[in-house]
Amino acid sequence: MRLRELDLTRFGHFTDQSIDFGDRHAKGSDFHIVYGANEAGKTTTMEGYLRLLYGFPARDPYGFKHQRANLCVGGTIEINDTDHGLTRLSTRNANLLDATGDVVPETLLQSALGGLSMEDYRKLLCLDDETIEVGGDEITKSKGDIGRLLFSAAAGVSDLSEILDKVEEMTLDIYRKGGSKSLFAELKRQHDQVSREIRDHDVSASDYRSLRDARNQAGETEADLRQQKKALSLNRVQLEALIKAHPLARALSDVEAELEPFAHYPDALDIDPEALVNMLSRRVGLVAARDRAAKELEALEEKRQTLVPRPDALAWAKPLDALKVLKSRVETAQFDLPKRQAQVADELKEMTRRLSDLGIDLGGDPMRFVLGEVQLAALELHRNLLLDAEKTLEADSNEAQAAAEKLDEASKAQQAVEAAANVGPELSALMARYHGDMLLEKVTAARHELALNKRQLTSKLQGLTRLDKTFDDVPLLAVTAAQAKALAGQIVKAEEKRTLSQDQLVAMEKKWGEAKRVVELSSALPELISDAAAAETRRQRDAFWAAHRAALVDETADRFEMAMHADDDKRSIREGQAREIADHRQAIRAEIEARQDFETVSKAHEDAKAQAARLHEQLVGLLQACALPDSLMADELSQWVQQVEDAQQTKAICAAIGNEHAPLFQRASDLQDALATELGEPDAELDALVAMARVRMAQYDEEQRNIQNAEADFAREAAEVERREARRAQSAETRSAARQAWDAYIAQHLPDVTAQIDLLDALPTLRALREINERMNGVRRQIEGMEHDLALFETGICALGFKGDGSPEHEPLAVFAACEAEVSAALRIETDLAGLISRMESEKADLDASQAALQAIEAQVDDLASGFDVKIKTATLEDLREAVRTATRAIDLRATAKVMAQELLSVLNVTTREQAEAELAAMTGQQAAADLQEIDTEISRIEQALDKAIEERAAATLALNAVIGDSDIAALTARKRTIEAEMEAALLKYLEGRFGHMLADRAIRRYRDSHRSGMMAATEKAFSDLTNGAYGALTTQPGAGAEMLMAIQSSDQVAKEASAMSKGTRFQLYLALRAAAYEQMASNGTVLPFFCDDVFETFDEQRTRAACGLMHRIGQTGQAIYLTHHQHVVDIAREVCGGEVSIHAL
């Protein structure tokens, strides 16, 4: 997998940022450095890449600029030589899209990632200061298994131990030794339970046989006991009969003895003794009743003699009854009549008073003012109509008056508003003509733009100040910026050249001096013959030879000889001094060369100086031409010229803006003038004038609105006045008509009422007169009725003809009372007489009945006595009763004796009295009782045994019968077998898991061990390279429960653990581990981009160089991307990798 392009579309502070890593070099390394300053987003780039691979977390710290929902990264990823344009959205699902926007399955990336999780990717292949340390620490201190993480990476899976743990967990869920919650333990429990149920409920063959035997045995025992019990029970019954018979026989003898005196009494009796008792009591009652009736008859006769009847008084009874009602009315009338008559007089007085209150003359009958109900209602209707009409007229008059007042006010208001208007329409026309508002806006913007540029110009002019030289305007330039820059460059180069030549001159001078000293030293040897001296000697010899040749004389020959000897001597000496001479010559040559060099350099230096001076003069000339101080440097001039050009440009912009907006400014000026004139503000600015115009225009609009409103108000009020007046006239007409109707009605029904009297308020009085009249008529009717009743009553009383005793109180009511008393007395006498006669007749009848009943009883006694023997006394009812009692006793005894005899025979189970007596004679009662006790004891014992035997037999039968062909046991057995199958399946699954776990555990260990050595070697080499050999080897040492990775220092062979190293060295170790892991993964077919975020920061230059080499090597296998803000790292990488590193600037 390779990252070809990374697009940070919306992520962190990036928007549409893209890094193109381009094609992979056909040969060489795929090593990239992303260079950017602090905060440029290097770490963001790495995180963005991880988001592309694994998606966005629920809370993304990189969602600070773009909202979480809008985060988006993308890129082009090469997988198996195919480019995949991918986009990762921050949605929850299906968030990986291809170039066409279709959803791409995650498996595309997952398979390319070889199952590496994001956390492991981060720890292994996305290194920053934190992850390199954390991941490295985990690797070097991995608990007891140094190669675990590396192996995981190499195997392309994140963590196989997780699988092992899961499998182990699964097996423990199935079976755990001694555990009670595993699946197997549960099945075992169920199995035991079912087995128990089967055991409890099943019947085996032997059990069945036992059951059958038990039932047979119990049956036999029961039958035997039953037989024994039966025999004993029989014996017992006989003894019990004997015991019972003895007292029975004695009682029978006693009864027979008692019967003997009553032998002559009859065997049967048809007289009921109770009937005799009843007869006796009846006779006593009848005698008493007869005596009482005779006495009562006598007393009643005496009382009848004292009562005398009064037929005369009885004749008044009927007429008095007829007068009773009338009498009561007369009694009331006598009391009420005077009061009613007085009441009539009072009512007439009241009528007179009320009429006089109204001022009506009482010259005539007041009754003529009494009107009927219909007339009163009509009168009230007319009166109400009149009053309503008057009220309406009054209200309408008031409304009309108010409307007239309002109209007047509206008229005044209209006049006031019109008078108050003082603004004309001219301003509006002016503003409209110039589009005042828009013009002001445009002018303001143009002025703002112009002012802005002018400020910039001013600022730039200030920037032109050099030392004490300032500029008010943009100066003219004698030189262009390019020329100035070129001059500055030339001066710099010339100066560099001069300095260099000067340095060289000094060096050459020094060198020449040293060469000269060498020559001097070599020539300073005392016996050394210099070349010059030798040459001189040779020249002298040759000269002497030439002279001798010419002369050929001894002298010349001697001189020649001497010269020749001298030359020979020197040659000889020089031959011995060959080395020194050679050195000397070398020294001379060197001195010559040094001198020549010095001269050359000296000349060059002079040239350089001259050139520098020339350029400086040129600079000074330019400075003067620019009116700048001479002391300015060339680059300062260059910078100044550039600033001037910039200022010129700004000035030109200002001018252009001015020209561009000139018509606008002119129009603005025209408007300003016009407004100033119109508003009378000659000194005001345009914006103030426009503002004032706006205010005035608003005021004009307001005034116009007020005038229109006032006009409308006036028109509305005028219309209202007209309407009100019309209504008032209508109301006046209505009132007039009502008045006429009223007057006409009064004239018709109350003709003698003068016009002066206003009857409008008299209606209640007229109603009262009518009510008084009604009441009075009622009283008069009562008076008439009373007087009529009095007359009728007197006539009735006279008709009775009562004489009385002649006293003066014989008025009708008194006569009526006296007659009534007489009649009452006569009636009482009649009633008493009738009662006496009735009672006497009743008593006589009672007396006769008692005597007849007594005679009948006597006859019945005689009849009953005839059934008895003559020797027995039966003359009286009492005798007869005694004879009957004795006969009854005799009959009862005879029956008892018979029953007892029969019972005796029955008890003894014999047929004759003789047999019974023989039996009784054979055994006494005591003997029988003793025998019975013994038998009872025996029976009780046998019964207990029998109960038990029955119980046993029933139980055995039940148990045997319980064995039926139901399928309970079969079902339980089936269940048991199923559980056993489940147990077997569970254990086999357990074993499969266990074996898998054991095998996998061992295999993984072996795999790791076999790969570990390779990993260790690769790490060792990488670490040695990174530390430039300072650490030559790695080893592991068992620590406290963990295996520690140690590095061996080359210098002293001391093993150091990572924590004891400096941060830089530790990072190098961790980097080496990642490089080895990368190599291992690559060899297994998983090649992924490897990111490092400035982890070389703590490396020295040499180790940085080595680290760049390592990244270069990784790039040769896969893709290495280093993120940094250090230029020197970039430089070193370029130096180490040449053209095989690509630099990308952020």
Interface positions, 932-971, toward another protein (CB under 8 A)? 963-971
- Selected range binding another protein among 205-213, 636-644, 645-653, 943-951, rule: CB under 8 A: 205-213
The residue from 231, 991, 1054, 1145 that contacts another protein (CB under 8 A) is 991
DSSP characters for 633-666? Answer: -HHHHHHHHHHHHHHHHHHHHHHHHHHHTHHHHH
Report the candidate in 122, 156, 161, 113 with the shortest Cα–Cα distance to residue 1080.
156
Cβ atoms < 10 Å from Cβ of 689? 21
Min CB(970)–another protein separation in Å: 4
- Among 39, 130, 162, 670, which residue interacts with another protein (rule: CB under 8 A)? 162
| Contacting residues for 354 by C-beta, under 8 A, at least 6 apart | 765, 768, 769, 772
Asked if 981 and 141 touch (Cβ cutoff 8 Å), the reply is no
Query: What does the alpha-carbon distance between residue 633 and residue 506 come to, in Å, rounded to a whole number?
Result: 26
Residue appearing with tokens 């009784």: 920
- Residues 36, 115, 1014, 1039: which binds another protein (CB under 8 A)? 115
Collect all residues with Cβ–Cβ distance below 8 Å to 756 and sequence separation of at least 6.
359
Q: Does 202 bind another protein (CB under 8 A)?
A: yes
Return the structure tokens found at 472: 């008010």
Q: Contact between 1015 and another protein (CB under 8 A)? A: no
For the segment 1067-1096, give every residue that binds another protein (CB under 8 A): 1084-1086
Among positions 449-508, residues that touch another protein (CB under 8 A) are none
Q: How far apart are CA 511 and CA 1011, in angstroms?
A: 64
Q: Does 985 bind another protein (CB under 8 A)?
A: yes
Q: Which of 39, 69, 165, 166 binds another protein (CB under 8 A)?
A: 166
Contact status, residue 890 vs residue 882, Cβ threshold 8 Å? no
Binding-residue total with another protein (CB under 8 A):
72
Nearer to another protein, 173 or 794 (CB): 173
DSSP string, 614-638: HHHHHHHHHHHHTT--TT--HHHHH
Q: What is the DSSP letter of 25?
A: P
705 lines the binding site for another protein (CB under 8 A): no
Query: Among residues 682, 695, 690, which one has the least CA distance to residue 430?
Result: 690
Choose between 780 and 975: whose C-beta lies nearer to another protein.
975
998 touching another protein, by CB under 8 A: yes
Figure out which of the listed residues 46, 50, 86, 112 binds another protein, where binding follows CB under 8 A: 112
Binding segment toward another protein, per CB under 8 A, in 132-140, 973-981, 1014-1022, 1059-1067: 973-981
Q: Is 207 in the site for another protein (CB under 8 A)?
A: yes
Task: Choose which of 65, 189, 196, 209 interacts with another protein (CB under 8 A).
Answer: 209
Looking at residues 176 to 195 of the shown chain, list those that interact with another protein (rule: CB under 8 A). Answer: 184, 188, 191
> CB under 8 A: which stretch of 565-573, 942-950, 982-990, 1042-1050 binds another protein?
982-990
Segment 80 to 109, residues that bind another protein, using CB under 8 A: 107
Of 76, 95, 117, 1036, the one binding another protein by CB under 8 A: 117
* Interacting residues with another protein between 406 and 425 (CB under 8 A): none
Binds another protein (CB under 8 A): choice among 545, 665, 745, 1007 = 1007
Residues 6+ apart with CB under 8 A from 237: none
C-beta of 162 vs 606, nearer to another protein: 162
Nearest to 474 by CA among 325, 591, 640: 640
Q: Which of 258, 531, 992, 1140 binds another protein (CB under 8 A)?
A: 992
List the interface residues with another protein, window 135-154 (CB under 8 A). Answer: 154
1014 touches another protein by CB under 8 A: no
Q: Using CA atoms, how far apart are residues 41 and 898, in angstroms rounded to an integer?
A: 142
Interface residue with another protein among 728, 997, 1066, 1074 (CB under 8 A) is: 997
CB of 7 to another protein, least distance (A): 25
CB of 215 vs another protein, minimal distance in Å: 14
CB of residue 182 to another protein, shortest distance in Å: 11
Sheet holding 1141-1145, edge to edge: 126-127, 1089-1093, 1119-1124, 31-35, 1141-1145
Q: Tokens at residue 401, please?
A: 């008056």
Of positions 977, 1037, 1054, 1145, contacts another protein by CB under 8 A? 977
256 binds another protein (CB under 8 A): no
The stretch near another protein (CB under 8 A) out of 127-135, 197-205, 441-449, 717-725 is 197-205
The dihedral formed by the CA atoms of 1114, 1115, 1116 and 1117, expressed in degrees to the nearest 10? 60
The residue from 760, 799, 849, 981 that contacts another protein (CB under 8 A) is 981
Contact status, residue 967 vs residue 171, Cβ threshold 8 Å: no
Query: Of the ranges 156-164, 460-468, 753-761, 901-909, which one interacts with another protein (CB under 8 A)?
Result: 156-164
Nearest approach, Cβ of residue 189 and another protein (Å): 13
Q: How far is the CB of 94 from another protein (least distance, A)?
A: 17
Residues 139, 146, 149, 155: which binds another protein (CB under 8 A)? 155
Give yes or no for residue 610 binding another protein (CB under 8 A). no
Minimum distance, C-beta of residue 205 to another protein, in the bound complex (Å):
4
DSSP letters spanning 974-1008: HHHHHHHHHHHHHHHHHHHHHHHHHHHHHHHHHHH
Residue 251 · residue 898 · CB < 8 Å: no
> Rounded CA gap, 374 and 832, in Å?
69
Q: Tell which residue, 121, 105, 89, 94, has the closest CA to residue 11.
A: 89
Q: Does 688 bind another protein (CB under 8 A)?
A: no
Exactly one of 216, 677, 978, 1037 binds another protein (CB under 8 A); that residue is: 978
996 binds another protein (CB under 8 A): yes
CA dist 882 and 866 (Å) reads: 15
Quote the tokens at residue 810: 């014989």
Task: Name the pairing type of β-strands 31-35 and 1141-1145.
Answer: parallel
- Least Å distance, CB 158 to another protein, is 6
